[in-house]
Amino acid sequence: MTKADQSKSNQFKDTWKTRTKLIHDGVRRSQYGEVSEALFLTQGFVYDTAEAAEARFVDQGEDEFIYARYGNPTTRMFEDRMASIEGCEDAFATASGMAAVAGALMSVLKAGDHLVSSKALFGSCLYIVTEVLPKFGVETTLVDGKNLDEWKAAIRPDTKAVFCESISNPTLEVIDLKAVSELAHAVGALVVVDNAMCTPIFSYAKESGADLIIYSTTKHVDGQGRCLGGIIAGDKELIRGPVEMYIKHTGGAISPFNAWIQLKSLDTLDLRVRQQAATAMKLCEALDGHPALASVRYPAYKSHPQYDLAISQSEAAGTVITVDLKGGKDAAFRFLNALEVFTLSNNFADAKSIATHPCTTTHKNVPVEKRPELGLTDGLVRLSMGLEDTDDIIADILNALEAV
């Protein structure tokens, strides 16, 4: 296949809707004309002549590769398709969600810079913000992400970036992304958003002003609990500039095999996530006012304290709900042990419904005295909606609550 034919096969059409882009965007067909995207499980690439090798190291073309840590055709398909559905110019894929969070922040910050971050964060994100970045001379200020006045007070003329989870894991706090972006951009700071809980399907990050949008593609993109992955999406200038430089030289590249699995998973992403979000809403309705529960939380359900903000930003709010059992840890454990459809694990966004007790697993390193301000109560259980029949999911939860 000639170069011209090849470029024809990866042309994006901006008019395509997300579901069409999820199937077709970024395709790079080999000379065999395969229908299903090919897995190029190769570390390196061959040059016809020494001159060709020299030329590629001087000026690497869009469809030319050098080494899989820098890029690979399968990985590039995944990056292009993710960038396309996110409405961004480009994207860089990473070995995991944490490689993406660390890579994005390390690539745009340096010693002496100031970062403002919401404090309701996934444990490893909190570690990077409060332990890793300060070690390299980045000053960080933590704020209550729900409170715009705190963002306003914390963002200073020398603030270089703000960071948040658009919907926090596991407490499901919602950030007013447009308002925070306006405050950040007013001082020239970059907006870096971990959008994992929100999902690419319900994302509003780009149009709200986010400069770097991060996903743990381990979650909804894989969606079947198989492999780790991450993505950083944004303008070409940032992605092919500092982000690519940092990640390709520090070794955070995704395996082409994992990129291929996650690329193929994009075919069904929209269908899966919409089904899971619909189940989340139905489960909230079924649990509303249940006597064993102090709260039922899903940002797009009316009992959430930030419901108005959540639905003003997106049509849905991810695929995870939380319940807070009145009886604390004992009740939570009785409930968890009585579940039959739900799997006990610490991941989420799987085809299998998953229940997690954050305080004793994913968030056990958060000091006990810091938990209340983060909404981490002993009775809190995170419930990730799977793809089982919605009636079975609801019946399982109601049944297990009987055991409490």
Ligand X SMILES: *Cc1c(COP(=O)(O)O)cnc(C)c1O
- Distance separating alpha carbons of residues 227 and 100, to the nearest angstrom: 15
Q: Which residue in 228, 354, 381, 404 binds ligand X (CB under 6 A)? A: 228
Structure tokens belonging to residue 176: 């007013």
Q: Least Å distance between CB 77 and ligand X?
A: 20
Q: Which residue in 196, 213, 284, 385 binds ligand X (CB under 6 A)? A: 196
The verdict on 96 binding ligand X (CB under 6 A) reads yes
Q: Least Å distance between CB 38 and ligand X?
A: 25
Q: Least Å distance between CB 341 and ligand X?
A: 22
Phi and psi (nearest 5°) for 208? -85, -10
In angstroms, what CA-CA distances link 214 with 12, 232, 365, 376, 380? Answer: 22, 5, 23, 24, 26
C-alpha 291 chain-centroid distance: 34
Any bridge partners for residue 139, and if so which? Answer: 114
Q: Least Å distance between CB 194 and ligand X?
A: 5
Spatial neighbors of 3 by CB under 8 A, at least 6 apart, are 63
Q: Which residue in 25, 194, 324, 350 binds ligand X (CB under 6 A)? A: 194
Run of H or E including 93: strand 90-94
At 179 the three-state DSSP class reads helix
Cβ closest to ligand X, residue 247 vs residue 404: 247
The verdict on 277 binding ligand X (CB under 6 A) reads no
The verdict on 145 binding ligand X (CB under 6 A) reads no
Cβ closest to ligand X, residue 276 vs residue 390: 276
Taking contact as CB under 6 A, which single stretch among the options 72-80, 189-197, 268-276, 295-303 is the one that binds ligand X? 189-197
Cβ closest to ligand X, residue 72 vs residue 216: 216
Q: State which of positions 148-167 bind ligand X (CB under 6 A).
A: 165
- Distance separating alpha carbons of residues 344 and 337, to the nearest angstrom: 8
- Site residue total, ligand X (CB under 6 A): 17
Taking contact as CB under 6 A, which single stretch among the options 118-126, 132-140, 184-192, 202-210 is the one that binds ligand X? 118-126
Contact present, 267 and 379 (Cβ < 8 Å): no
The verdict on 98 binding ligand X (CB under 6 A) reads yes
CA-based torsion, 34, 36, 37, 43: positive or negative: negative
At 50 the three-state DSSP class reads helix
Chain residues that interact with ligand X, rule: CB under 6 A: 96-98, 101, 122, 124-125, 165, 169, 194, 196-197, 216, 218-219, 228, 230
